[in-house]
């Protein structure tokens, strides 16, 4: 029984990491593609522009989603500790 709980907790944790990182990765990818497209069209090849815009976009995304990310992570942690306490009985 305890092996099943541990496997389920590990599986849920991997899904949680995927879901929590998804907004930041999507925003960074979209901004990177858009900036690359604009740079290709204007023939401006400065990497600092792309880095700066991606950094700003990722920071804004983190500020907008930190409450949801924190609440989700705390919810998972509480559930994991409850499962561990049940497993110990």
Residues recorded for the chain:
89
CA angle 49, 38, 30 (to 5 degrees): 80
Give every CB contact of residue 69 below 8 A, 6+ residues apart in sequence. Answer: 20
- pLDDT tens, 32-87? 999 999 999 998 888 888 899 999 999 999 999 999 999 999 999 999 999 888 87
CA angle 39, 56, 49 (to 5 degrees): 25
Of the two residues 23 and 5, the one the predictor is more confident about is: 23
The first and second tokens of residue 73, run together, are: 């992570």
Closest C-alpha among 74, 84, 89, 73 to residue 9: 84
């Amino acid at each position: 029984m305890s092996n099943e709980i541990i496997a389920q907790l590990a599986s849920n944790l991997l899904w949680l990491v995927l879901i929590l990182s998804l907004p930041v990765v999507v925003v960074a990818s979209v901004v990177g593609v858009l900036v690359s497209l604009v740079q290709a069209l204007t023939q401006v090849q400065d990497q600092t522009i792309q880095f700066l815009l991606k950094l700003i976009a990722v920071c804004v995304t983190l500020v907008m989603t930190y409450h949801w990310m924190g609440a989700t992570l705390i919810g998972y942690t509480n559930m994991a500790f409850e499962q561990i306490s049940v497993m110990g009985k």
